[in-house]
Amino acid sequence: MKVLSPTLKERKRYILFKIHSDNTLKKETIAKQCTDACLRFLGEFGCADAGVQFLPETWDSKTKTGIIRTGHKWVDKTKAALTLIKEIEGKPATVSTILTSGSLNKLKEKR
């Protein structure tokens, strides 16, 4: 089997987001909310094409920030899906995106 050339590989983008909520949040809950929001907005096929993936090791419960990985063509749609999260565990919450980058290390510095 041939190896894919770099021009055929999917380019990834990382989205740093912050959740504004009064309650304490667990990374499992956030992962479920993010994937559910993307599934509702993009559908199963769109979510698979975008390659949306919550990175649980990047969740910081003190600052309530996390990082999601997506494809470069799906950044705007993924951001729109995140903004549709209105409540987490029955309590009101809003999600705002802070920064988008092609490098994970840049986002980790900006936290």
- Residue-wise pLDDT tens digits, 11-51: 999 999 999 999 888 999 999 999 999 999 999 999 999 99
β-strands 53-60, 87-88: how paired? unpaired
On whether the pTM is more than 0.85, the answer is yes
Q: Spell out the domains of the chain, with CATH numbers in brackets.
A: 12-110 (3.30.70.3250)
Residue type, 104: L
Q: What is the DSSP letter of 102?
A: S
- Residue linked to tokens 């919450």: 93
SS3 90: coil
- Residue linked to tokens 């990047």: 58
Rounded Cα–Cα distance for residues 52 and 42 (Å): 10
SS3 1: coil
- Residue-wise pLDDT tens digits, 51-108: 999 999 999 999 999 999 999 999 999 999 999 999 998 899 999 999 999 999 998 8
